[in-house]
């Protein structure tokens, strides 16, 4: 059952997050003093031009890559104060993720791609893992493709399997890094809908990183990240103009 993490208390909070690369004169601030909150039940879109630090910020919030400074509070825990093992257990228990590349095992069927997460992660028995995998695939409209290999699936179907792989754990947090970049808009739209459904129907806290402005209309909130600095997008700003303006500003 989806968990209700509460409508007002942020499920995930980033405070004064900074991430730098390099040292001395060649230091780069990919994320620069970013603070923001994510709430359960909403899909947040993080936009910005290439190289703006979006994926780096997602990696910090998802417990994949540490910040140079700052704090991430999730479920009442300081994520980056935990040990690596505790963070791994946190991700196992609460996090689902999809990436631009589908990254499915070439030799495993759609069903086994999902089963393996349950069996290796939670130690779910084989029969139950199979049942849950088939149920998830049916929800994703892939019920009749459960035994197909990735090479036999379209790009959109593969990404849906990847989404299913992340959703099968019923995560409280769902992170998606450019989930539609390899897809045409029809298929990409299906993926975005799945992510938004995860937020609205399963009450997950969903963060989507993308530079695709067409997703904006589906998101509950939109942030822009430019040169590592975050700002929330005003509702009356045309997203295409906003992104173009940011890109032009960087070139100057």
Q: Which residues bind other proteins (CB under 8 A)?
A: 50, 55-56, 58-59, 62, 64-65, 88-93, 95-97, 99-101, 103-109, 112, 116-117, 119-121, 126, 149, 162, 165-166, 169, 177-178, 181
> What is the spatial order of strands in the sheet that 77-78 belongs to?
28-38, 12-21, 69-74, 77-78
Chain-centroid distance of CA 51 in Å reads: 18
Nearer to other proteins, 103 or 154 (CB): 103
Please report how close the Cβ of residue 175 comes to other proteins at its closest, in angstroms.
9
How far apart are alpha carbons 136 and 130 in whole angstroms?
A: 10
Q: What do you get for the CA distance between the two ends of the chain, in Å?
A: 50
For other proteins, give the closer residue by CB, 62 or 195: 62
Supply the minimum distance, in Å, between the C-beta of residue 130 and other proteins.
12
Give the residue with the Cβ less far from other proteins, 199 or 209: 209
- Shorter beta-carbon distance to other proteins: residue 109 or 190: 109
| CB of 45 vs other proteins, minimal distance in Å | 16
Residue 62 CB, shortest distance to other proteins, in Å, is 7
**Nearest residue (CB) to other proteins, 8 versus 151:** 151
Phi, psi values for residue 33, rounded to 5°: 55, 55
The half-sphere exposure of 63 on its side-chain side, counting CA atoms within 13 A, is: 28
Considering the complex, what minimum distance in angstroms separates the CB of residue 72 from other proteins?
Answer: 14
Q: How far is the CB of 59 from other proteins (least distance, A)?
A: 5
Instruction: Give the total residue count for the chain.
Output: 252
**Nearest-angstrom CA–CA distance, 64 and 167:** 18
Tell the burial category of 121 from Cβ atoms under 10 Å away from its Cβ (0-12, 13-18, 19+).
middle
Q: Which is nearer to other proteins, 3 or 220 (CB)?
A: 3
Q: How far apart are CA 164 and CA 135, in angstroms?
A: 10
User: How far apart, in Å, are the Cα atoms of 152 and each of 107, 142, 190, 194?
Assistant: 11, 12, 19, 22
């Amino acid at each position: 059952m989806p968990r209700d993490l509460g409508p007002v208390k942020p499920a995930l909070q980033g405070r004064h997050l900074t991430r730098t690369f390099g040292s001395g004169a060649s230091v780069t601030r990919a994320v620069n003093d970013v603070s923001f909150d994510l709430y359960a039940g909403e899909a947040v879109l993080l936009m910005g031009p290439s190289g703006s630090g979006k994926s780096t910020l997602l990696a910090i919030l998802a417990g994949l890559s540490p910040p140079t400074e700052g704090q991430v509070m999730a479920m009442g825990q300081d994520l980056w104060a935990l040990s690596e093992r505790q963070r791994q257990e946190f991700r196992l228990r609460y996090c689902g993720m999809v990436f631009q590349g589908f990254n499915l095992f070439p030799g495993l069927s759609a069903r086994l791609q999902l089963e393996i997460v349950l069996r290796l992660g939670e130690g779910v028995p084989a029969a139950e893992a199979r049942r849950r995998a088939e149920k998830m695939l049916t929800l994703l409209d892939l019920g009749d493709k459960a035994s197909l290999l990735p090479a036999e699936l379209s790009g959109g179907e593969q990404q849906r399997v990847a989404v299913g792989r992340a959703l099968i754990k019923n995560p409280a947090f769902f992170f998606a890094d450019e989930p539609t970049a390899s897809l045409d808009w029809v298929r990409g739209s299906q993926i975005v809908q799945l992510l938004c459904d995860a937020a609205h129907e399963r009450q997950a806290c969903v963060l989507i990183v993308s530079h695709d402005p067409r997703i904006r209309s589906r998101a509950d909130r939109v942030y822009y990240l430019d040169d590592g600095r975050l700002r929330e997008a005003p509702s009356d700003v045309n997203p295409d103009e906003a992104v173009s303006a940011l890109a032009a500003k960087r070139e100057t």
